[in-house]
Amino acid sequence: MDKSQAIDLIRNSLWFTIIISAPSLMLSVMVGLFISILQTTTQIHEQTLTFVPKIFALLAAAILFGPWMIESFTDYIWNLWSQLPDIAPH
């Protein structure tokens, strides 16, 4: 494996990680923003108030996007496995 193949492999894996984690992160950010606006308007500044809705949002994201995440991860792993003869030194 030369340097360009290693860089491509690392770049693809980082990009894949971003794509897989994006739905959960976006949902968590949206819930956090909503709770933050709610806390600002109601003058309730309880630190633990943001954790419970975010946990439920992440659970919902896991239920909604979980099958897609698992399928994408499985496809990515099979793709890596099929590239192994090209990556491994001869």
pLDDT tens digits for 39-74?
889 888 787 888 889 999 999 999 999 999 999 999
- Give the chain's domain count: 1
Whether 35 has a pLDDT exceeding 80, the answer reads yes
3-state secondary structure at position 44: coil
Model's pTM, two decimal places?
0.76
Question: Is 87 inside a domain boundary?
Answer: yes
pLDDT at 46: 80
Question: Is 14 inside a domain boundary?
Answer: no
Cα–Cα nearest to 6, from 72, 78, 14: 14
Question: Is 20 inside a domain boundary?
Answer: no
Question: Is 37 inside a domain boundary?
Answer: yes
Question: Is 6 inside a domain boundary?
Answer: no
Q: Which two tokens stand for residue 88?
A: 């491994």
Question: Is 77 inside a domain boundary?
Answer: yes
Question: Is 10 inside a domain boundary?
Answer: no
Q: 35 lies in which domain range?
A: 27-90
**More confident position, 26 or 88:** 26
Question: Is 84 inside a domain boundary?
Answer: yes
Q: How does DSSP assign 57-90, residue by residue? A: HHHHHHHHHHHHHHHHHHHHHHHHHHHHHHHS--
